[in-house]
Amino acid sequence: MISFQPTADDIAFVDVAKKFATNTLRPIMREVESAKEVPDAIVKELGELGFLQMEERENMGGLELSMTTQVQIQRALATGDLAIIQGLPGLNDSASFFRVMEDYIKINSIENQLSTIAYISATKESPLPSLTFQQNVLSGVSLPIRGAKIATHFLIAVKNELQQTILLLLPNNVVNGTVVGESRLGLYAANIGSITFEETTINDDHIVAVGDKADTIIQKAEARIQVLQAAKQVGLMEAACHYATEYTATRKAFGQEIAKFQAVSFRIAKMVIEKRVTNHFVLEAAQALDEKQEDALQKAKKTIFQAHKAVKYVTDSAVQLLGGHGFVQDYPVEKWMRDAQAQVMLYENEHRLRLAYGMDLIDISEEVVMG
């Protein structure tokens, strides 16, 4: 039956997350941006609240929460500061892989609590050369990824010389270097960097899955990642909508609150619609994933490209609505716009995602299009 009512448990979780976001994360947002790392105390507190291992299976020491619950918590946390959420240690995106690999046991050899596993996707079409994997040798420089600086392990999806997908799990001591550029755009605390491999020889121990099995794992895991990331983007939008509404309700120009100008209030209305729609997509896709619905992967794709479009519009609008104040660092909105832009760049090109989704609608496979 159709219902938008969260469960009592969800409400309780979200309440805790929201309070933490408001009282703890938001006030230190600028400080963390300058330090470019998340303070240990924050990591510890989030760990104690259980928010670092929501996606992990119980047999890995995680909470194994449903997607529906997780997205609500991630959304609430991200209202505090997206950059902090993206800079946390832990399995992060890789957690979704271990969640969908129900028979995978090697992870037990990793001291899960202490591990930060950064995910490198090198199987997709990419304009720039990324990693190559030939005759069990991994070479090249990855595209910039989250968590590069602090990763203890790397989970890598790559194609071999036979165009088979291989999923690898490597400890960071086989890495030849981490190229960490200076991020001046956004998500400063997200430890973004590229990983260099100079002819790293891979042994059987490193291989997690091969071929169709690997493809299936990646598809399922990436769908979860897309929805979880979209949920965080909704959190960021929530912060921006709320801040801009409050600001425009009190800021005066031409003798009245600027909210009374329709150019302002209509924009707020549009921001809120975009945010709400994205949230609905997130919840719908989360439920589809929880219930293993047939079109769950499609729903996830739709969710992330909508979230990309929406988060750019909403954060840009928040800056616009604050006028010159929006552009200066005395107010949070300029940071949110930068963080949003960095976030959408890390999680795939919106137009490409939309095209891929459309191709699926008309039943044209990627291979056909590529000739």
Ligand X SMILES: Cc1cc2nc3c(=O)[nH]c(=O)nc-3n(C[C@H](O)[C@H](O)[C@H](O)COP(=O)(O)OP(=O)(O)OC[C@H]3O[C@@H](n4cnc5c(N)ncnc54)[C@H](O)[C@@H]3O)c2cc1C
Which positions touch ligand X (CB under 6 A)? Answer: 251, 253-254, 258, 261, 263-264, 320-321, 323-325, 327
Residue list 185-224, contact with another protein (CB under 8 A): 185-186, 192
Q: Which lies closer to another protein via its Cβ, residue 29 or residue 100?
A: 29
The only residue of 43, 249, 277, 355 in contact with another protein, by rule CB under 8 A: 355
Please name the helix (run of DSSP H) or strand (run of DSSP E) that holds residue 158, with its range, or none.
Answer: strand 153-159
Strands 117-121 and 207-210: unpaired
Q: Residue written as tokens 């304009």? A: 127
The only residue of 2, 114, 128, 361 in contact with another protein, by rule CB under 8 A: 128
Q: Does 352 bind another protein (CB under 8 A)?
A: yes
d(CA 336, CA 271): 14
The only residue of 35, 137, 253, 269 in contact with another protein, by rule CB under 8 A: 253
The only residue of 47, 149, 349, 357 in contact with another protein, by rule CB under 8 A: 349
Q: Does 329 bind another protein (CB under 8 A)?
A: yes
d(CA 25, CA 85): 9
Q: Does 254 bind another protein (CB under 8 A)?
A: yes
Measured CA to CA in angstroms, residue 238 lies from 5, 86, 133, 300, 365 at distances of: 18, 17, 42, 20, 36
Q: Which lies closer to another protein via its Cβ, residue 80 or residue 332?
A: 332
Closest CA to 206 of 114, 106, 92: 106
d(CA 259, CA 69): 34
Q: Does 345 bind another protein (CB under 8 A)?
A: yes
d(CA 352, CA 344): 12
d(CA 156, CA 166): 8
CB 165 → another protein: shortest distance, Å?
18
Residue 41 binding partner per list ligand X, another protein, none, with a CB distance cut-off of 5 to 8 Å that depends on partner kind: none
Q: Does 346 bind another protein (CB under 8 A)?
A: yes
Fill in the DSSP letter of residue 160: -
Strand order in the sheet with 165-171: 117-121, 153-159, 165-171, 207-210
The only residue of 125, 204, 294, 363 in contact with another protein, by rule CB under 8 A: 125
Closest CA to 71 of 288, 310, 294: 288
Fill in the DSSP letter of residue 152: S
d(CA 300, CA 289): 8
CB 255 → another protein: shortest distance, Å?
8
Residue 159 binding partner per list another protein, ligand X, none, with a CB distance cut-off of 5 to 8 Å that depends on partner kind: none
Q: Does 344 bind another protein (CB under 8 A)?
A: yes
CB 229 → another protein: shortest distance, Å?
14
CB 31 → ligand X: shortest distance, Å?
23
Torsion of CA 66, 71, 76, 78, to 10 degrees: 130
Task: Write out the two tokens for 215.
Answer: 């493809």
Residue 312 binding partner per list another protein, ligand X, none, with a CB distance cut-off of 5 to 8 Å that depends on partner kind: another protein
Which span sits near another protein by CB under 8 A: 95-103, 168-176, 229-237, 332-340?
332-340
Q: Which residues bind another protein (CB under 8 A)?
A: 125-128, 143-145, 181-186, 192, 252-255, 261, 263-264, 312, 316, 319-320, 323-324, 326-330, 334-335, 337-338, 341-342, 344-346, 349-352, 355, 359, 366, 369-371
